[in-house]
A and B are shown apart, each in its own frame.
Chain A
Amino acid sequence: MPTVVDASDVVKRWGKTTALDRATLKIGAGVTGLLGANGAGKTTFIGLVLGMHRADGGALRVLGMDPWADGLAVRAQVGYAPEHDALPPDVTAHDLVRHLAQVHGLPRREATARASDVLYELGLGEERFRQIGTMSTGQKQRVKLAQAISHDPELVLLDEPTNGLDPVQRDEMLALVRKVGHELGINVVLSSHLLDEVERVSDAVVILDAGRAVAGGTIGELGRTGDAELLVEIDGRGSRRLVDDLARAGVAAVIDGDRVVVALESDRVYDLVRDALAAADLGVRRLQRRRTSLEDVYLSAGDGAA
């Protein structure tokens, strides 16, 4: 998978506050969630990727370029939708999107055509000549997304794109983000502090905590970290006996509440658990291979950093 953003030991300070503290991460193609609590350094990192700020240390490459030294070239190929309000109320959506496409280097005729196309694609075809100030919050977020992709960037940075949206609008926006990343073929970095929305649309995740990248990888890779456990719920008493029998067979297991957690070192463990249950004549209420959710990774990453 080609690397879109490559950060190595990146440091950024604002006065006495260290916003990014030797952050090392890679962002590849597709949709990548940049996950972290408020103040974790997500927006600062986006600012560095855009070349708006200069890093105080480390190395950062965006699309193979140094965003500070080659800021104009990087920004010509990157789209950005900020978290905060960034839309003039007394301009139509079409005029704004066309103008910003021109500013990103598209000739006027192309910019005009693409502004209409993008707004259609994002569900604002009928609304494109309305002044932005008269639009709903959901429509404004779509305009932000439209201006970010109108010039067909290689990479689009979306900073908290679901802020202020109701649940229905949020679902629609996430569907659009997924569409941008998977159907339109634009690499997306989705910055969010909301775990479930990152999990829903992202191919990969980078978790920032207090300015450090504490975990990263594809959703599959992060989930696999918890595959090595088997949960067994016994019908009635017998958990202690099961743990002892498994220990004699060389399998580690512990009692966790009303469940037995078995270390799943290999597929042979399934057979040993089956045999132990049968030998002890224990009924099974539930037998489940435990998958670590992104939430587990997020929480454990935060604990580790703390």
Chain B
Amino acid sequence: MTAASRIYDSGYRRYDGARLGPAHAFRAVVTHTLQRVFGLHRPARTKVLPILATAIAYVPAAVFVGLAAFLPRQLSENALPTYGDFYGFITAAVLLFVVFVAPEAMCPDRRSGVLSLYLAAPLTRSRYLAAKATAIFIALLFVTLGPPLLLLVGLSLQNSGPKGPAGLALILLRIVGSGAMLAAFFSALSVAASSLTDRRAVASAGTFGFVFAVNAVTAVLVFGAKAPDWVLALSPSRGPFELTRRIHGEPPLQDFHAGTAALAGAALAWFLIGAALAWHRYRSLQVTR
């Protein structure tokens, strides 16, 4: 055998290398879940929805950057949206992502039974759930943080961005805060909905139905039954997006009189309720007996 030749034995070998700890298992679940959500290593049909949602989320930012690049003279001073207003253009993409990401990440593990294999590995139920929630949070950041960041970078390169390093840092901080808040809020809600069923379609429909049903109820209560203004903050589709405007220092929308504290409190309350429900469901889930 020459120095350049090798014999490759494809049979079973004992393994005496490094065995990494629970943090490695956590990262493996996060990575695998993200690949699943975005359709990587999976059939072409599973890539359609992520690509569609991504396109809807990024097209507005790309259009505004393109307008700033190619029609700078034709754009009036107020033609570009503020960063606070920008979320109005991507609300549909965010909600589309929300209703499919968590069900895709969580329901198949229970439906196929692979959850029992995860829990027979160096993972506890809480770490498994935290890994799944982390993956969902990162996936949602892709549409809540990515588009405004693209807008910021694109406009800054066209000299239409914030003035000076301090202005840039402030906007960047507000974008990160808004994106993280939206991702965390919708992660908790969609994880909770997905913990209640092992069918993806039911979880998606449940998440969608919950968001719009509560939105309708709060609107009727405030505008029809003259309930206090803070009730509108409970709307899971309007409340968090209004909060992003406040984070960016924008004035409230015309019909939205709930205070910023009420908006933040409502978002925190929904987050905690969602997280507690999901945790309770997974803690009591019977995997093997």
Scoring A residues 55 to 86 as 1 if CB is less than 8 Å from chain B, else 0, what string do you get? Answer: 00000000000000001110110101010111
From known contacts A84-B113, A147-B117, infer whether A102 and B24 are also in contact, taking CB-CB under 8 Å: yes
The reply on B15 being an interface residue by CB < 8 A is: yes
Q: How far is the CA of A105 from the CA of B26 in the complex (A)?
A: 10
The reply on B156 being an interface residue by CB < 8 A is: no
Which among B20, B21, B121 has the greatest number of chain A C-beta atoms within 10 A? B121
**The one of A44, A75, A184 that contacts B120, using a Cβ cutoff of 8 Å:** A75
From known contacts A43-B289, A92-B41, infer whether A117 and B113 are also in contact, taking CB-CB under 8 Å: no
Within 8 A of A (CB), among B88-119: 108-109, 112-114, 116-119
A88:B11 contact, CB within 8 angstroms: no
B287:A52 contact, CB within 8 angstroms: yes
B114:A117 contact, CB within 8 angstroms: no
Of A106-114, A195-203, A250-258, the one with at least 4 CB within 8 A of chain B: A106-114
Q: How far is the CA of A100 from the CA of B128 in the complex (A)?
A: 13
Residues from chain A with Cβ under 8 Å of B42 in the complex: 90-91
The size class of the interface chain A forms with chain B is 35 or more
The reply on A121 being an interface residue by CB < 8 A is: yes
Q: How far is the CA of A120 from the CA of B14 in the complex (A)?
A: 15
B114:A88 contact, CB within 8 angstroms: yes
Residues from chain A with Cβ under 8 Å of B22 in the complex: 72
**The one of A71, A107, A120 that contacts B20, using a Cβ cutoff of 8 Å:** A107
B118 to chain A, nearest CB (A): 7
B32:A99 contact, CB within 8 angstroms: yes
From known contacts A47-B289, A99-B28, infer whether A88 and B112 are also in contact, taking CB-CB under 8 Å: yes
Q: How far is the CA of A14 from the CA of B288 in the complex (A)?
A: 12
A131 to chain B, nearest CB (A): 8
**What is the interface of chain B mostly: helix, strand, loop, or mixed?**
loop
Number of chain B residues whose Cβ lies closer than 8 Å to a Cβ of chain A: 38
Residues from chain A with Cβ under 8 Å of B20 in the complex: 105-107
Scoring B residues 163 to 183 as 1 if CB is less than 8 Å from chain A, else 0, what string do you get? Answer: 000000000000000000000
The reply on B123 being an interface residue by CB < 8 A is: yes
The reply on B29 being an interface residue by CB < 8 A is: yes
Scoring A residues 36 to 50 as 1 if CB is less than 8 Å from chain B, else 0, what string do you get? Answer: 000000011011001
The reply on A164 being an interface residue by CB < 8 A is: no
Residues from chain A with Cβ under 8 Å of B25 in the complex: 102-105
From known contacts A14-B289, A47-B288, infer whether A103 and B118 are also in contact, taking CB-CB under 8 Å: yes
Q: How far is the CA of A99 from the CA of B41 in the complex (A)?
A: 12
The reply on B122 being an interface residue by CB < 8 A is: yes
Residues from chain B with Cβ under 8 Å of A14 in the complex: 289
Within 8 A of A (CB), among B101-160: 108-109, 112-114, 116-124
**The one of B43, B112, B123 that contacts A85, using a Cβ cutoff of 8 Å:** B112
Scoring B residues 4 to 37 as 1 if CB is less than 8 Å from chain A, else 0, what string do you get? Answer: 0000001111110111111011001100100000
B120:A114 contact, CB within 8 angstroms: no
Chain A's closest residue to B286 (CB) is A14
The reply on B260 being an interface residue by CB < 8 A is: no
The reply on A95 being an interface residue by CB < 8 A is: yes
From known contacts A14-B289, A82-B113, A85-B112, infer whether A106 and B15 are also in contact, taking CB-CB under 8 Å: yes
The reply on B197 being an interface residue by CB < 8 A is: no
Residues from chain A with Cβ under 8 Å of B19 in the complex: 76, 104-106, 151
